[in-house]
Structure 1
Amino acid sequence: MSNSFRDRNALVFVLITVAINAVGFGIIIPVLPELIRALTGLENNQAALHIGGMTFVFALLQFICMPIIGGLSDAWGRRPIMLASVGALALDYLLMALAPTVAILYLGRAISGAFGATFSTANAYIADTSPPEKRAQNFGLVGAVFGGGFILGPVIGGWLGEFGPRIPFFAAAAICGLNFVYGWLVLPETHKPEKRRAFSFARSNAIGSVKSLGRITGVRALLFVYFLLAIAHTVYPSSYTLSTQEALGWSTADVGNSLGAFGLASMVVQGWLIRIIIPKVGQYYAALIGIVGAALAYAILGNANAGWIVYAAGPFAALAGLYGPTLTNMMSIRFDETEQGELQGAIGAAQGLALMIGPLLMTGTFFVFANRDTSPVYMPGAPFLVAAILTILALLVFMKTTTKADRRNIMDAPEDGATK
């Protein structure tokens, strides 16, 4: 098999996997609060605390395991790690579909967090198969197909949820199971044996990974910016359904349709506009546009009192899709081929830590401000205002700490002795 054919096969599978996982993830968003309420008998704002708790469990396992998984993919190759992740997701959704108690929902999220290598390993595949000047655009493709999957996922979940809150979970399990079979049959290995490095637990934990990667100029600051933005972004999976249903009286179908529209706009930005914007303005300014777009979207959603206002935030939320690929590539181009899995593991750990903090912060904020009788100020959109504040802080850190080379859209070859 030629390298170009192998790389193309890997890229196609990675993009299909991300799309399918996005569909599976999106399917459950509109119905998870309803399933929690059915299992516990809790009110809307109280069910929000369980969503935050489940996301915390997922994130804790991801924070611990993602650097290990990244190191293992550098040592063993990408294929076995990707397949393990896809299989674990199928098991996760099946467990949640059959859950007789809320405790089983927590167990399912723990399994998914422990094996949640899909996106970090997908990005490692991209780094393996893309030249540095094309990585940001290809990282954008990952975001674009996620957006495409997200168009279908919440819409499907919202409509399936009309037949019962468990049905979308069975659908997500089936989709991920089929993807596992497909990957087993066609997924190639792209991480060449001569490029692999021995597994080191000292470098394959969150603290050791950040310490190791921090020897390269600017990486810790970019990782911190990514971390703040990841905390802010958790407002969507943790609070969007609750907030819109509380403030606007939306049904699960309304939630699914709006998230589908957001996904469509995001797909346009990450699959098409990113390939125009980055060559025109460079990675630094593309990231800047994305961060500002995210802050505006959160501010609009936090104050939305009508459905059209939610949809008006869509274009700004879509522009936020610029910052993920550009920040990832601004870090990726600083490292050689033997460390891409470690880098993606560190980014995954940052996401995991953000998922530990963010949903508890967002659902806790919703709990305080979404009760008409006890809230100091009744404001169901308060979690989005918290996200806006975090995004503005990330913007200030990004502008303060990026280098002149970043702003000129160039990067000298990294040296092991480089310091931040």
Structure 2
Amino acid sequence: MPNAFGVTGGVAPALTLNWTSMALPSIMSPESKAVPSSSRVIYVVFVLLLLDLLGFTLILPLLPSIMDHYAHTEDGVYQTLQSSVDVFREALGIPMEKKYNSVLFGGLMGSIFSLLQFLTSPIIGALSDCYGRRPLLLLTTVGIACSYVVWALSRSFAMFLFFRVITGVFKGNVTLCTAVVADLPDPKARNHGMAVIGVAFSVGFTAGPLMGAYLSSSSESTGRLFFQTPALLGLAFSLADLLFIWLMLPETLSADAKATHSGFGDFRDLLSPLALFNFSAVTRIKDPLSEQRMQRLKMLGQVYFCYLFLFSGLEFTLSFLTHQRFHFTSMQQGKMFFFIGVVMASIQGGYTRRIKPGHHAKAVRMAIATLIPAFILIGISWNIAVLYMGLALYSFAAAVVVPCLSMLVSEHGSASQKGTVMGILRSLGALARALGPVATSSVYWLAGAHMCFLVTSASLLIPLILLSVD
């Protein structure tokens, strides 16, 4: 998912969400906060998540330049981490080339961020079940705003790492937004909301990097460091997000749900990988799920982890393949991810949000099955046309699986457990994104691109088999 974002062609159909009849003043009224309209809640979620993701993705095209910047300053912390990357590169036989080094170093940074998300997502979700979605969204957004201040002021790699750590700890907006949507009582509204969250991701991961790259290049004429203007824009997005949440977002966790919540539970249930895969934090609360529904929730968590482990791994190696086989420049890589983002936004705005309740498991099976030929085509691609055929199928699957799995998981748990359930799901996804790139890039360089993509494609049968048991 890039995460980031022209965009007009793919976004226009995605935004045809019948919001034109909404009056913004009514969102701010006390009555709307007491009994929020589902469509208005979805509108607010889209805007606040889009602002968050636009800021988050500004940094993506800058990472190679940031690595080069600290390498030239001979920063001690950078040199230490570079030594670790060199050990990994030499063990796998990766050629000593600037492009590959940037991808590997970026992957290391991404793994640190994902591991922090793995630790904090369940806690943020559980806290929102205790205190409400709105207070936690305000708290996490303040934390993100502070992280951009640190980034803008950073003059050493240690400060830059501190910025990424703060971001990883407070990056709870996606977890909380999915919990807000899961609070909606109408299944159709929840489905619509999960699809809209997917659209926000596609638009954010399409537009954000483009904005970051443009502002970085224009910063050189102002005398600032190339990353300062994007950092300040990220801060502006966060402050706008904070204001929007304060003025527009109603509390969707009902007073009855808060009253029935039995407390924070065993802290280990939110940190232990085994407990997270078993959703133990949910089963130990009063009024646990029935055994059959609990088994289904565990299965959905396993499918989500397996899918993202394989998907994120091949997504990571895609940059290796296109650079090695087709000699893609950074601009060509950007155009490729732009194509992916536009297709995903179109699919999520047109097809995914119209999937009827009860058909989401079937849609997930179809999408994962589509990924198998997609990755085979990408792996064996002998020209650009075949590559983009595979990327089109890849984009379709990516636009369907996560929103539909999120919708299926949101049906589980009582009203006082939704934040915990969605936080655990996000945590499993973060763990998959931390481990998948390391495992898949190892296969890529040890066995070759063809073998890597074929083996991973075949491995997608695992989540398909898990889903077939449902």
For residues 216 and 380 of structure 2, the distance between their equivalents in structure 1, rounded to whole angstroms, comes to 27
Q: Which residue of 1 is the match for residue 344 of structure 2?
A: 266
1:20 aligns with 2:51: yes
Corresponding residue number in structure 2 for 1:395: 464
CA distance in 1, matches of 2:164, 2:325: 28
Aligned to 2:159: 104
TM-score by length of 1: 0.82
TM normalised by structure 2 equals 0.74
CA-based RMSD of the aligned residues comes to: 2.9
**Alpha-carbon separation, structure 2, partners of 1:121 and 1:237:** 25
Gaps of 5+ in 2: 1-30, 73-81, 83-97, 221-225, 284-290
Shift of 1:309: 3.9
The Cα of 1:282 is off from its aligned counterpart by 1.5
Equivalent positions of 1:129-278 (< 5 A) are: 129-163=184-218, 166=227, 167-196=229-258, 197=261, 198-202=263-267, 203-206=269-272, 207-209=274-276, 210-213=279-282, 215=291, 216-235=294-313, 238-278=316-356
- Is the deviation greater in 202-211 or in 352-361? 202-211
Q: Does the CA contact (< 8 Å) of 1:228 and 1:394 recur in 2?
A: yes
Worse-matched range after superposition: 289-298 or 266-275: 289-298
**Separation (CA, whole Å) in 2 of partners of 1:243 and 1:29:** 19
Structure with larger Rg: 2
CA distance in structure 2 between the aligned counterparts of 1:94 and 1:346, rounded to whole angstroms: 29
CA distance in 2, matches of 1:234, 1:252: 20
Q: 1:5 to 1:331 in 2, by over 3 A?
A: closer
Q: What is the alpha-carbon distance in structure 1 between the residues aligned to residue 314 and residue 146 of structure 2? A: 24
Q: Which amino acid aligns with 2:257?
A: K
Aligned pairs for 1:110-129 (under 5 A) are 110-129=165-184
SS of the residue aligned with 2:265? coil
Range that drifts further, 18-27 or 78-87: 18-27
Q: 1:28 to 1:205 in 2, by over 3 A?
A: same
Contact 1:10–1:188 (Cα < 8 Å) also in 2:
yes
Q: What letter is aligned with 2:297?
A: V
Q: After superposition, give the CA deviation of every residue in 1:101-135 in whole Å (9 maximum; x if it has no partner).
A: 43333322221221121111111100112413442
CA drift of 1:362 comes to 4.1
Do 1:126 and 1:135's aligned partners in 2 also have CA atoms closer than 8 Å? yes
* Partner amino acid, structure 2, of 1:37: D
Letter in 1 for 2:396: L
8 A Cα contact 1:78 1:121, kept in partner: yes
Aligned-pair identity in percent equals 23
Report 1:341-420 matches (<5 A). Answer: 341-365=419-443, 368=445, 377=448, 379=449, 387-399=456-468, 401-402=469-470
CA offsets per residue over residues 33-68 of structure 1, 9 Å max, x none?
Answer: 232233226733233332222222212221121111
Distance 1:156 1:173 in 2: 14
Corresponding residue pairs, total: 391
Structure 1 residues 292, 193: closer, same or farther in 2, change over 3 A? Answer: same
The match for 1:300 among 370, 377, 400 is: 377
Aligned partners of 2:342, 2:308: CA distance in 1, in Å? 21
Instruction: Return the alpha-carbon distance in structure 2 between the equivalents of residues 89 and 233 of structure 1.
Output: 27
Q: CA 1:30/1:222 → structure 2, altered by over 3 Å: closer, same or farther?
A: same
Over 3 Å counting, the alpha-carbon distance change for 1:243 and 1:176 in structure 2 is farther
1:288 matched residue in structure 2: 365
Residue of structure 2 equivalent to 1:64: 119
- TM-aligned CA deviation for residue 266 of structure 1: 0.9
Q: How many angstroms apart in 2 are the aligned matches of 1:249 and 1:10?
A: 45
Q: What is the Cα deviation at residue 161 of structure 1?
A: 4.7
